[in-house]
Structure formats: C-alpha cells, structure tokens
Amino acid sequence: MNPIHSGLDNIKRNLSQSAQTLEQLWQGYQQLWQQAGWDQGQLRLWLSALPDISIQNSDSDNPEYSFASNQAQGDDLGSLILQTVDNLGGRVQINALLQKLPVEMVTIEQIKVAVNQHPELSLMGPFVRRH
C-alpha cells in the first residue's frame, strides 16, 4: 500500500476512536498533505465524502469529524426518520426532513444511509417515503 493510502487509513482509524477538528487533522498530518498535494479544502471534501462520518459545526471554519460509534445510532436515526415521515403523511423531501430532525444529530448523507438501511423506508428522487 502506498504511503498516502496508508496515512488516510490511519486517519479513518483514529476518527473511529475519537473526534478531531479539521485543524487537528491538518496540523497532525502535515507530511501526508504535502505528499498528497492537498490543501485544507481537499481534506474537508474527502472527510465529508467518507461514509458514516459525523460532522459537528459543519458551517464553521474548523468542523469536528468522527465516525458513528455503532450501528445502533443508525437504527435510532432510521426509527426517528420513520416516525417523522409518518407524521408528515408518509412522504417528505429530504431537505424538509433535515429541517425536522435535530440539527446536531444528522446530515443529509446520514439520512440517506439510515433510510437505505431501514426496511420500511426508501428514497425516491428527493423524497423519503414509507413503503
């Protein structure tokens, strides 16, 4: 495995153990970013594209990243989404659903993952609906 892939895998392992801010990741892996030729924007994009990533303070200049601690969190989110979809008539746009859920709890990507994992929910274009 090349050193860049190895370094990125180390970051994922570390994030699964404890949350880190963008600045902590940037400062802690300077050599990796130099080897990859990345700037902070590219690091931020890569982190946001990782599956099961949790982003706190995403609108700030220094968001905090971590991985969902276990599958139960996704199950809880799926149940909350199902309840919300039922309350809104069985079908709701993802953006509207995002506004109905606790802000600190969820991102659109987390909604998509939870919907895909829940047996009673499905994505239909921009809508989440109950089967």
Q: What is the pTM of this model?
A: 0.52
- Computed over every residue of the chain, the mean pLDDT equals 83
User: One-letter amino acid identity for 50?
Assistant: L
pLDDT tens track for 56-69:
887 888 999 887 65
Taking 80 as the threshold, does the pLDDT of residue 20 lie above it? Answer: yes
